[in-house]
Structure 1
Amino acid sequence: MKFSVDEMRTPPEVYAWSRFGQQEYTTFLDENLSWQETCSIGDWSFLWQHWFRGPDVLELFSRFSVNDYSRFAIGQSKHVIHTNADGKVIHEGILTRFGDEEFMLHGRGGFWMRFQAERAGLLVSVEQDDWFILQVSGPNAIKVLQKLDPSEGYLDTKYMWVAPITIAGHQVHALRQGMSGEVGFELQGPAEIRQKIYDAVFEAGQEFGIRRMGGRISLINHLQASYPTIATDYIPAIFEPDTAEYLDFFLSSMPPNAKPAYIAGSYPGKEISEYYRSPVELGWSKVVLGSGFLGAEALLAEKADPSRVLRTLVWNADDVTDVYASLLRPGERNHTFMDMPRDQKGFMWADRVEADGKLVGVSTSRGYSYWFRQMLSLCPIDVAHAGLGTDVTVVWGNPGDPEKRIRATVAAAPYKPNKNAADLRAVAR
């Protein structure tokens, strides 16, 4: 199956949609403040889950993910990344070890690993499951959980480890992880009790200012905390001849309501591979610890001598304002519409980043942070221009629209200070 960039730039119908349910519950401004000021509950239950069982599970994952599994205890989780032969990201997700030979993988990577398990000749069984994933994060998140389960044993949980917690009479799993860069847990368990857990958390959180995260704002925490996202910051590297069989398998495994990825923005890519990214470009170098995995030669060489690294870009407020002002100038063709707080159509919006007229990076995940009162984006950028405080230009505009050159400043990624690993008992006091 052959996909062209033009096909991915021109969807048959353009529509707004959200994997996160309702677009707004209060307002996106109010919701954007919640995980920094009080707490939030976000629903990631649309992710897929696969159980991997058997004596050869870690052998399988060692072959087809970039991670090291020499130390992987029961109750621990890892951010696993799968790459193609060129070291570009196919999928990624969270793998948790629940027993000696029992592992659950959250995310699209389950399909890739199931595909490989069926061909590897290893003692591995794979079963798809349906779990809920509710992320409860923010300064008051621990107080909410304490109200629900006063036992507090989960307060000793290390980052990226799982602990049991009892909510509404059900024992579920609490993974100390989240996408906001704040303290919190992912609550996980069978889908049939999802609503009971959600309702109990939301009710307990009322006195602590809890907010539900709607679809308009859900990925702004990814942007602020620098968590690149599939189909938003990169296209999965599965559109090549050597992955054609897997692509057919993957597409046939998707439910009817699954949405495709589309490309927009000023970046002039000619091949889909130009929208692939390596773990190094996405800021995940520290995870690349394995050896002998698919794509290891290319990726380990890149890790040792990277040409691009991940940064945040802070867009110039006056230049951004001019994009909106063009909508109110009679007789003038306006600039490409800049949705607020981010694109709502699920596109990978890729824009050129230039320095002295030369292409030096690609801007993605453009979004407005009400917390910072700034327009931000993520950007894999040439090392020579990656210094914090460097001035660059983002070229905003779809092909055929008037281009707007927006001044931007290179900043750290993550942009928001990361509080994931804070002392939970100190937070609880």
Structure 2
Amino acid sequence: MSGNNKAVGPGGPGGAGGAAIHDVPAYPEVPTYLNILGSLHIWEGDGWKQESMSWKTTSYLASNLSGLPEFTFSGPDAQEFLSRLSINNVYKWPVGTSKHLVMLNENGYIASHGLTVRDSEESFRHFAAMPWPMYQAPSLGLDVEIKLRDIFLFQVAGPTSLQVLERLLGESLRELKFLGVRQISIPGIDASVEIELSRIGMAGTLAYELRGPLEHGPAVFDAVFQAGKEFGLKRLGWRTYVVNHTEGGFPQQGCTFLPGAFADPGFVTHPVFGAGLPPSQIEGPLPGSADPKDLTARLRTPFEVNWGWMAKFDHDFIGREALEAEAANPRRKTVVLRWNKEDVLDVFASQFEPGEEYKHFEFPTTPQAPAGGHADLVTKDGKQVGVSSVAVYSYYYREMISHSTVDVDLAEIGTEVVVQWGDHGGRIKPIRATVERFPYLELPSNKDFDLSSIPSGVASA
């Protein structure tokens, strides 16, 4: 998300860019912050290599999804409202648990997606997502009340994340199941402040989220950071954030693909909903070897990102006809591509040769995150067979990898393809790549993590 973003020093944004909302503290030792659409985020916290190792060996604390509003849908038709928008079945859903809802536009592309908590029979909260439901509400004509609230949303992920949170709260959290939610009180924070803890995350390993009123964000962030120092907690910035999505197998709107809401002219030109969209992601030129005018190269369907299993064709929802047609004959799916080392080194070598160099790599992600408009063509024997998203350097594996949608008959591990690296109209470097396991991270997933193997984080008396 460029356009309205500004890199700033540890003292905060200031200058001509104006003040940003602080949902994290201004640590003197943090080298760079990023002003993303008016909200201050850490760009690089404790060094990108340490941050990249954190969710495999220790844990991280991230605020990258903070600043986005929490949507509350309530009323007699709230459940029907979400049902009309989502590919998921929202009726088999226990109160007090979470569900990942996926919403489409009429053409079957993912318009928005996000975690949603069911608070009661008629009340739901939706996080870190596009305002697609609000845009669609008038046309659906249902009895539902929609409220917005500014919240902090912090992610704590990695094998020591449970110990960090137990040290923070001074109690055991072993009973909190995957997708479960519970209310907590944090020592040093006013007990009347409503803060919730959820066992969910995108790193591909044990992970949790903390959510609460935005104005308490800096204090909560620092409390977690102080509690986590003993357990190797790192502050994960935007520079490294998309690495965990790529390794962990979680495609994300605004990072690995563009929301299909951007393909809706009414949404983009809406005076409220379209006003906050980054111009670089809706106007172009969009980066990558795919034609910048080809917006569909940057969009994804549920089957293309391996979420087709969530679709339940037992209810009417926007985009159902297009999704049913795809379900009958899925064309592509997402795989991990491991890039050829020699070809990657050729890109670096070109920087030291005369003439036009190849498009350079920024470590650990290119383009620098968020970068949902990036798309490189993938070919096999000269024929286009897919689209690759952000190029990621995995310091853990010492490899360059990416998520790519490829034709389903080429999705077998070991299949060799070519990524057309560069920007449309510029010098293109064909980089050989091999289809690998998805997800790429070979560690226990959140839902399968054996919590009994983790020592208690509760401090001894």
Please say if 1:212 is aligned against 2:235.
Answer: yes
1:203-242: per-residue Cα shift (whole Å, max 9, x none)?
A: 01111111000121011101111211223322222355xx
Q: Give the counterpart of 1:167 among 168, 175, 186.
A: 186
TM-score (norm: length of structure 1)? 0.90
* 270-279 or 200-209: bigger deviation: 270-279
Aligned AA for 2:161? A
Is the alpha carbon distance of 1:257 and 1:312 closer, same or farther for their aligned partners in structure 2, counting shifts above 3 Å? closer
Please say if 1:266 is aligned against 2:306.
Answer: no
Q: Give the counterpart of 1:413 among 438, 448, 454.
A: 438
Residue 155 of structure 1 and its aligned partner are, at CA, apart by 1.9
What are the residue-to-residue correspondences of 1:235-246 with 2, within 5 Å?
Answer: 235-240=258-263, 243-246=264-267
Unaligned runs of 5+ in 2: 8-33, 457-461
Q: Give me the whole-angstrom Cα distance separating, in 2, the residues matched to 1:427 and 1:259.
A: 45
Q: Which residue of 1 aligns with 2:398?
A: 373
Residue 258 of structure 1 and its aligned partner are, at CA, apart by 5.1
Query: Do the aligned residues in 2 keep the contact of 1:18 with 1:344 (CA within 8 Å)?
Result: no
Q: Which residue of 2 aligns with 1:80?
A: 101
Residue 397 of structure 1 and its aligned partner are, at CA, apart by 1.2
1:111-159: per-residue Cα shift (whole Å, max 9, x none)?
A: 211222233222210011011111011111111111122332x322221
Aligned AA for 1:334? E
Q: Give the counterpart of 2:147 among 127, 137, 142.
A: 127
Residue 48 of structure 1 and its aligned partner are, at CA, apart by 2.3
Say which SS state the counterpart of residue 379 (structure 1) adopts. strand
Say which SS state the counterpart of residue 357 (structure 2) adopts. coil
Q: Give the counterpart of 2:385 among 360, 364, 370.
A: 360
Q: Give me the whole-angstrom Cα distance separating, in 1, the residues matched to 2:101 and 2:317.
A: 12
Is the alpha carbon distance of 1:195 and 1:270 closer, same or farther for their aligned partners in structure 2, counting shifts above 3 Å? closer
Q: Which residue of 2 aligns with 1:139?
A: 159
TM-score (norm: length of structure 2)? 0.84
Is the alpha carbon distance of 1:363 and 1:274 closer, same or farther for their aligned partners in structure 2, counting shifts above 3 Å? closer
Is the alpha carbon distance of 1:24 and 1:271 closer, same or farther for their aligned partners in structure 2, counting shifts above 3 Å? closer
Aligned AA for 1:82? M
Please say if 1:300 is aligned against 2:324.
Answer: yes
Aligned AA for 2:176? T
Please say if 1:423 is aligned against 2:446.
Answer: no
What are the residue-to-residue correspondences of 1:143-292 with 2, within 5 Å?
Answer: 143-152=163-172, 154-168=173-187, 169=189, 170=191, 172-240=195-263, 243-249=264-270, 252-253=272-273, 260-261=280-281, 262=284, 263-268=286-291, 270-290=293-313, 291-292=315-316
Is the alpha carbon distance of 1:162 and 1:182 closer, same or farther for their aligned partners in structure 2, counting shifts above 3 Å? same
Say which SS state the counterpart of residue 205 (structure 2) adopts. coil
Is the alpha carbon distance of 1:12 and 1:428 closer, same or farther for their aligned partners in structure 2, counting shifts above 3 Å? closer
1:339-369: per-residue Cα shift (whole Å, max 9, x none)?
A: 1111226432211111111111100021111
Q: Give the counterpart of 2:59 among 39, 49, 53.
A: 39
Q: Give the counterpart of 2:84 among 50, 58, 63.
A: 63
Please say if 1:316 is aligned against 2:336.
Answer: no
Q: Give me the whole-angstrom Cα distance separating, in 2, the residues matched to 1:239 and 1:26.
A: 34
Q: Give me the whole-angstrom Cα distance separating, in 2, the residues matched to 1:358 and 1:34.
A: 39
Aligned AA for 1:94? L
Residue 270 of structure 1 and its aligned partner are, at CA, apart by 4.4
Say which SS state the counterpart of residue 323 (structure 2) adopts. helix
Q: Give me the whole-angstrom Cα distance separating, in 1, the residues matched to 2:268 and 2:91.
A: 31
Q: Give me the whole-angstrom Cα distance separating, in 2, the residues matched to 1:37 and 1:89.
A: 33
Query: Do the aligned residues in 2 keep the contact of 1:165 with 1:172 (CA within 8 Å)?
Result: yes
Residue 98 of structure 1 and its aligned partner are, at CA, apart by 1.3
Say which SS state the counterpart of residue 272 (structure 2) adopts. helix
Percent of aligned pairs sharing the same letter: 33
Query: Do the aligned residues in 1 keep the contact of 2:113 with 2:129 (CA within 8 Å)?
Result: yes
Q: Give the counterpart of 1:100 among 121, 127, 136.
A: 121
* 398-407 or 28-37: bigger deviation: 398-407
Q: Give me the whole-angstrom Cα distance separating, in 2, the residues matched to 1:349 and 1:276.
A: 10
Query: Do the aligned residues in 1 keep the contact of 2:238 with 2:369 (CA within 8 Å)?
Result: no
Is the alpha carbon distance of 1:47 and 1:412 closer, same or farther for their aligned partners in structure 2, counting shifts above 3 Å? farther
Q: Give the counterpart of 1:24 among 40, 44, 50.
A: 44
Query: Do the aligned residues in 2 keep the contact of 1:148 with 1:166 (CA within 8 Å)?
Result: no
Q: Give me the whole-angstrom Cα distance separating, in 2, the residues matched to 1:206 and 1:334.
A: 43
Residue 410 of structure 1 and its aligned partner are, at CA, apart by 0.2
Aligned AA for 2:454? V
Residue 247 of structure 1 and its aligned partner are, at CA, apart by 2.9
Q: Give me the whole-angstrom Cα distance separating, in 2, the residues matched to 1:70 and 1:51.
A: 17
Q: Give me the whole-angstrom Cα distance separating, in 2, the residues matched to 1:289 and 1:274.
A: 26
* 60-69 or 267-276: bigger deviation: 267-276
Aligned AA for 1:40? Y
Residue 186 of structure 1 and its aligned partner are, at CA, apart by 0.2
Aligned AA for 2:80? E
Q: Which residue of 1 aligns with 2:69?
A: 48
Aligned AA for 1:405? P
Query: Do the aligned residues in 1 keep the contact of 2:156 with 2:209 (CA within 8 Å)?
Result: yes
Q: Give the counterpart of 2:364 among 330, 341, 352.
A: 341
1:170-196: per-residue Cα shift (whole Å, max 9, x none)?
A: 452111111111112101111122112
Residue 401 of structure 1 and its aligned partner are, at CA, apart by 2.4
